[in-house]
A and B are shown apart, each in its own frame.
Chain A
Amino acid sequence: MYILEGEGVTKYFGGLAAVDGVDFRVDQGEVVGLIGPNGAGKTTLFNLISATYSPKPGIIRFKDIDITHKKPYQICRMGIARTFQMVKIFGNLPVIENVRAGAFFGKSTSVSSANATKDSLELLEYMGLSQVANTPARDLTLANQKRLEVARALATKPELLLLDEMMAGLNQAEVAGAMQLITSIKDRGITIVMIEHVMKAIMNVCDRIIVLHHGKKIAEGTPQEIATSESVIEVYLGEDHHAGSE
């Protein structure tokens, strides 16, 4: 059984296929990287998995259950959580309330207020956000807002976590912190699929990498295989040469 599986997943916007017949499989406990040039369809694929859109045609399964036509909140309650490329925190709410919302409504449906608070405080501690627990989320630095999104996603108690460009806009030290965080989330037994442009991070933390280009899957394999794949090098060097530059 794969934790996540897609068959012929396709999404058109107007006449343009943003994601075009992509097959993918994710094993329990893996960290899978999703890479590709801008406009390759990575975020669209995330949106399809998390049910912002429905694939047409195509099937997506989570632990062998067809989730193709589920709603976002159902997807989340089944155990898939996500973060966003452009952070979507609840800016006017205190940090702790952001996380509590995740704890209340995530996978387990009936959580007492005290337990939600307790879990949230633990998560904030884990994320290093304890000091800012009562600060309005909009006042955090970008790096901390991204960590808050991860904390909020983890509060829903996911089995699968989708991370959309968690490291974009972070400095060297923050990137190192984020890489550590991903390894540590993996150690908690949570499967991760991550979209990332920071090649150093992808190469170091991923078990496997899927490469998208113009909506199609053009390569898949271990970091070493991808790094040496001619078609991937062609795609990246042919466009802009920022692989590994950060």
Chain B
Amino acid sequence: MDTTRFKSKGFYIPGIITLIIFAGLVTLPLFGSLYNVILITTLLMYANLTVSWVLFSGLTGYMSLATAAFFGVGIYASALFLPITGAELPILVVVLIGGLASSIIAFGAGALTLRLRGIYFTIFTFGLVVLIMELLNWWELSVNKILNRYIMLVDNNYIFYVMLGLFVLVMLTFFFIRRSKFGLAMRSIGENEEAASHMGINVTMVKIVTFAISAFFMGATGAIWATKLSYINPHEAFKVLISFLPVLMAIFGGMGHIYGPVIGAVIFAYLQETLQTKFSEIYMLSFGVVLVLAILYMPHGLVGLIQKVWRRISGGKRVHT
């Protein structure tokens, strides 16, 4: 009975809508303006980061603030291998390198820190962003004497398709992991890690592997995103805000459903893109106000999800009654 759960009627309608949206996206460069292609690329970038974040933090309940670190590592992969003087490697290989480099860092950081509980893990991941940024900054300024790195220009449609490809991959990964044995292990960890470990789940391994998978998509997204930026430096590549935005987008969209994080990311990224250039301060100000008001007056859809994450953050093991 349980295996038939996904073949219910409710599955078809969202499936059809997904297909229509997907078809629209694939053909976008044919009918859309350049502005729209660039805009949708940006929305997809945020969607990739948000879904990748939910993939790890949403399921296991460990709140990671390392998104900016992995995204930045990806950006730097492009800066190193796709300089303005000409590509040293094919773009897709660089995207892969960006993803793998982030994965490896996540694997190492995860092995060290995922035994930490709750808030310490969150603080550590937050620190990781600034640590990598500061070290890189020192290396660039003191060792390489390079202020900015210039990245080669890439066709906007190409960037769009790579971003879309990553989006499809991350969504498929999220979709199948949620439904797999592995996803069940992650949700068990999110519910009660101690019980999960006593039921034969290698909780450390599951957490580290998922953290690395999530970091892969963040790094790959950073690598392709970098080709949209003309130049970068450590401060541009590692912005702490990038760690927070996916959290906020995921929470607004709701993490209970696979489309939630995407919807949250698309709405926020769209508003940001259309309002920020003209009214930067006003936009960010209203962003703050909306955030505070939403937390106060939209508790449903927020609190339940936050709770699980927070249970992990505070390290509290509360008894279910």
Contacts and interface: CB of A to CB of B under 8 A. Distances in A.
Touch between chains A and B, by CB atoms below 8 Å: yes
Nearest to A77: B200
Contacts of B320: 87-89, 91, 137-138, 145
Contacts of A101: 184-185, 188, 196, 199, 201
A125 to B, nearest CB: 12
Contacts of A152: 195, 199
A121 interface: yes
Nearest to A72: B197
Nearest to B184: A101
B300 interface: no
Nearest to A138: B320
A107 B200 CA distance: 7
A76 B197 CA distance: 8
B199 A102 contact: yes
A76 B199 contact: yes
A192 B240 CA distance: 53
Contact of A76 (B187, B192, B200): B200
B257 interface: no
Contacts of A92: 191, 308
Interface stretch (A2-10, A78-86, A205-213, A220-228): A78-86
Given A89-B320, A145-B320, A121 B195 contact: no
Majority SS at the chain B contact face: helix
Contacts of B308: 92
Given A86-B319, A93-B191, A76 B198 contact: yes
For chain A, which range describes its interface: under 10, 10 to 19, 20 to 34, or 35 or more residues? 35 or more
A106 interface: yes
Contacts, number: 93
A90 interface: yes
Given A101-B185, A101-B188, A156-B200, A88 B194 contact: yes
A82 B1 CA distance: 27
Interface in A58-111: 71-73, 75-77, 81-82, 84, 86-93, 96-97, 100-102, 104-107
A96 B4 CA distance: 14
A52 interface: yes
Nearest to B198: A72
Interface in A139-166: 142, 145, 152-153, 156
A183 interface: no
B159 to A, nearest CB: 39
Nearest to A102: B199
Contact of B199 (A97, A106, A133): A106
B155 interface: no
B198 A90 contact: no
Contacts of B187: 90, 93, 97
Contacts of A104: 181, 184-185
A16 interface: no
A113 interface: yes
A117 B3 contact: yes
A41 B16 CA distance: 59
A50 interface: yes
A1 interface: no
Interface in B173-211: 181, 184-185, 187-188, 191-192, 194-203
Contacts of B202: 71, 73
Count chain A CB atoms within 10 A of each CB in B3, B184, B192 and give the residue with the most: B184
A114 interface: yes
A244 to B, nearest CB: 27
Interface string B284-321: 00000000000000000000000010000000000111
A75 B185 CA distance: 17
B192 A73 contact: no
B50 to A, nearest CB: 21
Nearest to B192: A88
A222 to B, nearest CB: 30
A114 B196 CA distance: 21
Residue among A52, A71, A104, A107 with most chain B CB within 10 A? A104
A120 B204 CA distance: 25
Contacts of B188: 90, 93, 101
Contact of A113 (B1, B181, B197, B198): B181
24 contacts: A50-B198, A73-B197, A73-B201, A73-B203, A84-B195, A87-B320, A88-B194, A90-B191, A90-B196, A91-B192, A92-B308, A93-B188, A101-B184, A101-B185, A101-B188, A101-B199, A104-B185, A105-B181, A105-B185, A106-B199, A114-B3, A117-B3, A145-B320, A152-B199
Interface of A: 50, 52, 71-73, 75-77, 81-82, 84, 86-93, 96-97, 100-102, 104-107, 113-114, 116-117, 121, 133, 137-138, 142, 145, 152-153, 156
- What are the 3 tightest A-B residue pairs by CB atom distance, in nearest-first order? A90-B191, A105-B200, A88-B195
